[in-house]
Amino acid sequence: MQGVQRMSQPVEQSLPSAADLEPRLQQALETARRSGASAAEAHIGLSRGLSVSVRKGEVESLQFQRDRELAVTVFFGYRTGSASTTDFSDAALRQTVEAACAIARAGGEDPCVGLADASLMATEFPDLDLNHPWELSAEQAIDIARETEAAAFAADKRITQSEGASVDTRQSLQIYGNTHGFVAAVNSTDHSIVCAAIAVDGDAMQQGHWYTAARAPADLDAPAAVGAKAGRRAAARLGARSIATRTAPVLFPADVARSLFGHFLGAISGGALYRRASFLLNKVGEPVFAPAVTARQQPRIPRGAGSSAFDQEGVATRERVLVDRGTLGGYLLGSYSARKLGLATTGNAGGVFNLVVEPTFAGGLDALAREMGSGLIVNELMGHGVNLVTGDYSRGASGFWVENGEIAYPVQEITIAANLQTVFPGIAAIGDDVDRRGGVRCGSVLIDAMTIAGG
């Protein structure tokens, strides 16, 4: 990564190894069995991290984090109880299991609780290349944050204020086991550099934000590039105005378009479905997107933000086609939600494991703007006006109005609205400018029409 060097001295000692901690997890499971539990599962989570933020060159916060927890869930037939502790001593483990057992004995029965079937446990554990510690001192992190913010100020003379820049690095160890005999561990890292700049012109002020995030520090964008982009985005929004209410095409840049597919994932999640709180209930096999749209779960992408060989219950993850040329291919189910629905788990306890949306258009945001001709580019969404029961969608927004394929002026204080049952089928194109920073990977998305409410 340009501008950032790998440092030789860690802030703290490395995390313990999985081999050191697995005996504690096994002890919790064995204690649960001796206490009369018909089944049990346990999870150990450890993490260490460094977070630094600066504003106008001055350090605003500096935090070292080191967390750990052991959580155990026991089953007495159809009764269940859970408890957790940060103390891994013999006495604390025993007391934690006893507390979980007491809760289970006092609770009511639910025929849908229990471990996932033993036959579904993962048996293959490929190296997904998730663990890349960034041995960064506090002083070095501060220097990177300052470099990032300085680049924002240098991007445009109107960047005279800042919300700051931050650097975060975290290393985690997660171990899961259950009384089927399944035990597996994952070491992983997450790193990010973030900047938020403020452009000022007279009484007008606008903010611009940008970030880079990756499993490995070598995959992060250069700090100066992150800051410069935040500064340019802030300056570009100066002179923003509202527009008259109308219906027009709306173009979501890749980093914003991710939220549209996030709503889709929420609507096909087991909890929403068995509560009958989803507009996509009973829609498997039916067209829900435009015919050109295909989206797959790909859980084994090297260094992927959502990569894993198994879900939160130890069930093997697998590649799945969730949208096949517009048609809904399936739901996201763990064992509990699957039993509630009379179905089988899909290995999605904990959600999706890398949703990859295939491009339908050769080109990115600029090319899609030319394809759109006239319409709105949304670069920021505000509020939470999405109803997954009905599909109603209404959110505050800001961005740019486009005429003849080119940006005409920035806009603000508007609301975009539609129903997701028309938004998804109304996807006219998905660009090839795929944003790979999160668990949902997609390019910019052009919607054929939405209501834009202005002043």
d(CA 304, CA 126): 13
In this structure, the number of other CB atoms found within 10 A of the CB of residue 15 comes to: 18
Last residue of a domain, one of 208, 236, 264: 236
Is 257 inside a domain boundary?
yes
Give residue 4's pLDDT: 40
Whether residues 252 and 324 share a domain: the answer is: yes
Q: What's the structural domain count of the chain?
A: 2
pLDDT in single tens digits along all 455 residues of the chain: 443 433 334 444 579 999 999 999 999 999 999 999 999 999 999 999 999 999 999 999 999 999 999 999 999 999 999 999 999 999 999 999 999 999 999 999 999 999 999 999 999 999 999 999 999 999 999 999 999 999 999 999 999 999 999 999 999 999 999 999 999 999 999 999 999 999 999 999 999 999 999 999 999 999 999 999 999 999 999 999 999 999 999 999 999 999 999 999 999 999 999 999 999 999 999 999 999 999 999 999 999 999 999 999 999 999 999 999 999 999 999 999 999 999 999 999 999 999 999 999 999 999 999 999 999 999 999 988 899 999 999 999 999 999 999 999 999 999 999 999 999 999 999 999 999 999 999 999 999 999 999 86
Whether residues 206 and 272 share a domain: the answer is: no
Rg of the chain over all Cα atoms, to the nearest angstrom: 24
Last residue of a domain, one of 236, 261, 276: 236
Whether residues 280 and 386 share a domain: the answer is: yes
Q: Which residues 6+ apart lie within 8 Å of 127 measured at CB?
A: none
Q: Are 238 and 410 in contact (CB under 8 A)?
A: yes
Residue with tokens 């997450």: 190
Is 241 inside a domain boundary?
no
The sheet with strand 58-76 has its strands ordered as: 79-85, 58-76, 39-55, 159-178, 183-201, 204-214
Strands 183-201 and 159-178: antiparallel
Whether residues 91 and 177 share a domain: the answer is: yes
In Å, how far from its chain's centre is CA 302? Answer: 16
Give residue 384's pLDDT: 84
d(CA 142, CA 219): 19
CA torsion sign for 24, 26, 30, 33 is positive
Is 31 inside a domain boundary?
yes
Whether residues 95 and 215 share a domain: the answer is: yes
Indicate the DSSP class of residue 345.
Answer: -
d(CA 211, CA 196): 9
Q: Are 238 and 266 in contact (CB under 8 A)?
A: no
Last residue of a domain, one of 209, 236, 263: 236
Whether residues 292 and 437 share a domain: the answer is: yes
Q: Which of 124, 127, 42, 121 is nearest to 85 (CA)?
A: 42
Whether residues 179 and 228 share a domain: the answer is: yes
Is 2 inside a domain boundary?
no
d(CA 430, CA 423): 13
Q: Are 99 and 71 in contact (CB under 8 A)?
A: no
d(CA 428, CA 415): 21
d(CA 254, CA 431): 8
Please name every residue paired with 250 in a beta bridge, in sequence order, or none if there are none.
376, 447
Please name every residue paired with 415 in a beta bridge, in sequence order, or none if there are none.
396, 453
Angle between helix 90-106 and helix 18-34 axes, rounded to 10 deg: 40
Is 14 inside a domain boundary?
no
Is 7 inside a domain boundary?
no
Q: Which residues 6+ apart lie within 8 Å of 405 measured at CB?
A: 369, 370, 371, 372, 373
Could you tell me the CATH number of the domain that includes residue 192?
Answer: 3.30.2290.10
Report the SS3 class of residue 381.
strand
Report the SS3 class of residue 307.
coil
Q: Are 261 and 373 in contact (CB under 8 A)?
A: no
* Phi, psi angles (nearest 5°) of residue 174: -120, 130
pTM: 0.94
Whether residues 224 and 274 share a domain: the answer is: no
Q: State the number of CA atoms in the 13 A half-sphere of 275 facing the CB.
A: 11
Indicate the DSSP class of residue 386.
Answer: B
CA torsion sign for 172, 173, 177, 183 is positive
Is 138 inside a domain boundary?
yes
d(CA 251, CA 424): 13
**Which secondary-structure segment (H or E) carries 115?**
none
Is 83 inside a domain boundary?
yes
Whether residues 272 and 360 share a domain: the answer is: yes
Report the SS3 class of residue 372.
helix
d(CA 439, CA 4): 25
The helices-and-strands tally (H runs, E runs) of the chain is 9, 17
Residue with tokens 């997107």: 289
d(CA 119, CA 335): 13
Give residue 10's pLDDT: 43
Whether residues 209 and 296 share a domain: the answer is: no
Whether residues 206 and 312 share a domain: the answer is: no
Residue with tokens 């990564």: 1
Query: 142: domain range?
Result: 19-236
d(CA 446, CA 290): 11
Whether residues 210 and 263 share a domain: the answer is: no
